[in-house]
Amino acid sequence: MAQTAPAPNPLKRPDMHGGDRIDGASWASRSAAWGVHGAAATAHPLATLAAIETLKKGGSAIDAAIAANACLGLLEPISSGIGGDCFVMLWDPKTNRVVGLNGSGRSPRALTLETQRARAHDGHIWKYGATSVSVPGAVDAWWTLHQRYGKLKWAELFQPAITHAEEGAPVTQNVAYYVAGSYRAFTNPANGLEESDNFKRIWAPDGRTPREGEVFRNPALADTYRKIAAGGRDAFYQGEIADRIEAYFKRIGGWMTKADLAAHHSEWTQPIVTNYRGVDVYGLAPNSQGLSTLQALNILETFDLKAMGFQTTASIHHQVEAKRLAFEDRARWFADPDFSKTPIDWLNSKDYARERAKLIRPDAILTPVHPGQAPSHGDTTYFSVADKDGMMVSIIQSNYRGMGSGLMPDGLGFMFQDRGELFALTDGHPNIYAPGKRPFQTIIPGFAVRDGAPWLAFGVMGGDMQPQGQAQIIIDMVDHGLDLQAAGDSPRWHHEGSSEPTGEEQQGVGILRLESGVPEVTRKGLIDLGWKMGPSDGGFGGYQAIQRWPGRYEAATEMRKDGVALAY
């Protein structure tokens, strides 16, 4: 019998692009939102609405961010949740400075390096299951922020999320797609999860995950939120929730204990900063990868990207090379500062950037790429909120690798992160696994200051895409003069194959992926230079941002996510 070719999918048309706009960038998906009192931009409309409603009740930007984040843990579980970590940068209008918070948790103290190595997969920590779980830092980060900057009562902040969890909310397109992928991963026996029944009980009780538009409820998470609302951070780290977490890991043969949870506390930090063509760009120090954004920008500042042109072969080539140089340092040096000292001042210096920039050739690809030699003395959710008092919050919170480890504690309605996967197992590596140690972290909020005033709270979620995406946003706005929305919707590049802090070596020149909007002449020019092209795979991040103007805010989100930006 003759085989008939499958009918083409009418939605997959690489030759088609968005419709024409009467003003602004032709590729922009929408215009930005403007307001004088406050603004919020998140990856889910209901989370953005919760933030705006919190601001309207007199809440601070921190109150609104916590309310939004609690909603996202339910509404966007593919990227966030109270089983994950949280990093924050904010503009404090009372002190007129950028403040940082590291809300990342540590590895279980009972889990040894020897056990990790015995259970490793291809020389690396397994990406799912109990060996990948570290202490969740999100709830303590919220509490720490609220203690200093909150205006409304703590319990009020959880009411929108509790209501959505009980009544249910329709599942968005991205969430439906990625939850289905997580279901396949968590129920695959080859992935070795200790158990997946709790995940299936909540997300696939009828043998399938919810489709776009179907209403999803999570009463177990609503009950957990009620306990946190009533008891604060101690309810999670020392109370009934902690008891149930410890009992769960004992039941499945894991290592997390109530003592591990009780010992966790977030840390206020001083962000690192560099000046890029008159704009002060901030990042969080390791164990975060924020320094990678600054290093790439320092290198690129030595080149005239504006003269090279927007979305040209020369511009993207230089940007990718700067990324590769920065990422070799990331792989060599980034780790928990309590265990290993990263030479931050040297790595972030303009002198070092000029040395590294000399390695970049306009007509050839540098290979191999090496990290610098220090002197001897030497899929995540992003959202931003701003309030009437001038506070701007840049916050990123994640379970890592989509929904996380695949493990959900009995009856609590959330999943644990798998950040522990990002430790190395190589002797002598700064990021080598150790009990009670924080793993290298990919999640990074972004913040920029212009002329001494807060200018931009922004982020681009998505693993190693984050510093690459952050640098592209700054370049688009500073070098090419794009507005907030156009910068987010501008076609992006994503380079893979650099060395990793997990001990993986660089893979030749790696793989360069370009979004379909990049001009074809640029793509051809990059191929002619020798770049190996991979297909566009949707891994170009998810952008939210708020820009401060005199007396008003501009807020933007982008076409790659399900979110919305609002201001009032």
Note the pLDDT tens digit of each residue in 413-459. 999 999 999 999 999 999 999 999 999 888 889 999 999 999 999 99
pLDDT given for residue 7 in this prediction: 66
Query: 1: helix, coil or strand?
Result: coil
The residue type at 457: A
Res. 12: pLDDT tops 80: no
* Residue carrying structure tokens 């992160």: 417
Pick from 24-33, 53-62, 370-379: least confident:
370-379
Answer yes or no: are the C-beta atoms of 270 and 344 closer than 8 Å. no
Res. 298: pLDDT tops 70: yes
pLDDT given for residue 446 in this prediction: 95
Residue among 264, 269, 346 nearest 82 (CA): 264
Q: Kindly report the CA angle at 264 between 258 and 268, in degrees rounded to 5?
A: 170
d(CA 108, CA 116): 11
Relative orientation angle of helices 61-75 and 159-167, to the nearest 10 degrees: 20
CA distances from 168 to 69, 77, 390 (A): 17, 14, 34
DSSP 8-state code for residue 364? B
Q: What per-residue string of b and e applies to 184-205 under the rule 16 or more CB within 10 Å gives b?
A: ebbeeeebebbbbebbbebbbe
pLDDT given for residue 376 in this prediction: 39
**From the CB of residue 93, how many other CB atoms can be counted at a distance below 10 Å?**
14
Res. 375: pLDDT tops 80: no
- Local confidence band at 381 (pLDDT 50, 70, 90 cut-offs): confident
pLDDT given for residue 392 in this prediction: 98
Query: 159: helix, coil or strand?
Result: helix
Whole-number average pLDDT of the chain: 93
Res. 2: pLDDT tops 60: no
Residue among 27, 110, 72, 174 nearest 434 (CA): 110
Note the pLDDT tens digit of each residue in 130-166. 999 999 999 999 999 999 999 999 999 999 999 999 9
- The mean per-residue pLDDT over the stretch 50-61 comes to 98
pLDDT given for residue 210 in this prediction: 96
CA distances from 192 to 119, 127, 245, 401, 410 (A): 10, 10, 20, 16, 19
Answer yes or no: are the C-beta atoms of 342 and 333 closer than 8 Å. yes
Note the pLDDT tens digit of each residue in 239-274. 999 999 999 999 999 999 999 999 999 999 999 999
Domains of the chain are: 33-84+98-264+382-422 (no CATH), 268-379+442-552 (1.10.246.130)
Res. 374: pLDDT tops 70: no
Q: Look up residue 499 and give its two tokens.
A: 């060395």
HSE-up of residue 207 (Cα within 13 Å, Cβ side): 0
d(CA 314, CA 307): 10
- Local confidence band at 379 (pLDDT 50, 70, 90 cut-offs): low
Stated as kind and residue range, the H or E segment containing 386 is strand 381-386
Active site residues: 380
- Local confidence band at 377 (pLDDT 50, 70, 90 cut-offs): very low
pLDDT given for residue 499 in this prediction: 86
Output the 3-class SS for 517-568.
CCCHHHHHHHHHHCCCEECCCCCCCEEEEEEEECCEEEEECCCCCCCEEEEC
Question: DSSP labels for 265-329?
Answer: --EEE--EEEEETTEEEEEPPTTSSHHHHHHHHHHHTTS-HHHH-TT-HHHHHHHHHHHHHHHHH
Residue among 396, 436, 82 nearest 241 (CA): 82
Q: What is the pTM of this model?
A: 0.94
d(CA 523, CA 253): 50
- Cis bond upstream, residue 10 (ω within 30): no
- The mean per-residue pLDDT over the stretch 82-106 comes to 97
Stated as kind and residue range, the H or E segment containing 411 is none
* Higher pLDDT, residue 400 or 529: 529
Stated as kind and residue range, the H or E segment containing 107 is none
Strands across the sheet containing 493-496: 493-496, 511-514, 533-534
pLDDT given for residue 502 in this prediction: 83
Note the pLDDT tens digit of each residue in 355-373. 999 999 999 999 888 887 6
Pick from 17-21, 70-74, 182-186, 201-205: least confident:
17-21
d(CA 241, CA 561): 32
d(CA 183, CA 173): 16
Over pLDDT 90: what percentage of the chain? Answer: 80
* Higher pLDDT, residue 96 or 464: 96
- Local confidence band at 328 (pLDDT 50, 70, 90 cut-offs): very high
Pick from 84-93, 306-315, 340-349: least confident:
340-349
- Local confidence band at 378 (pLDDT 50, 70, 90 cut-offs): very low
pLDDT given for residue 1 in this prediction: 43
